[in-house]
Amino acid sequence: MRASGKVLLTQRVKISRGEIHSIDERCKQCRLCIELCPKEVLQESEKVNEKGYHPPEAVEEPEKGKSCVACGLCEVICPEYAIWVEEKKENASTEGDQRERRF
């Protein structure tokens, strides 16, 4: 039953896609966004900001299921107001969006 439900849902629900923006100078490398991202999209970058921290960057691998679904968790959890997500309009779907919101 559960599997069939999944098949039906994937046919019906369009999963929204997001684009991650960040202000690197505000990051303090607390890693909350990296650890809590449900799709494991974020990782520490090689860049170094003014204070010596490595800000996060988005590395999407759609074939492994690692792509931003615009859940916005990184935005609400970031203590520094450094990262935010903009939903890409063409694939927007509120139903898919709600399903990924864990917190």
Q: Which residues bind another protein (CB under 8 A)?
A: 21, 23, 25-26, 28-32, 35-36, 50-51, 75-82, 84, 101, 103
Nearer to another protein, 2 or 89 (CB): 89
For residue 54, what are its two tokens?
A: 């490595």
Closest CA to 16 of 81, 64, 85, 78: 85
| Minimum separation from the CB atom of position 96 to another protein (A) | 17
| Minimum separation from the CB atom of position 25 to another protein (A) | 5
| Minimum separation from the CB atom of position 5 to another protein (A) | 25
Q: Detail the DSSP E strand segments found in the chain.
A: 18-22, 42-44, 56-58, 83-87
Nearer to another protein, 46 or 50 (CB): 50
Nearer to another protein, 15 or 36 (CB): 36
The residue written with tokens 């490595």 in the block is 54
Specify the amino acid at residue 53.
Y
Nearer to another protein, 12 or 86 (CB): 86
71/89 Cα distance (integer angstroms): 14
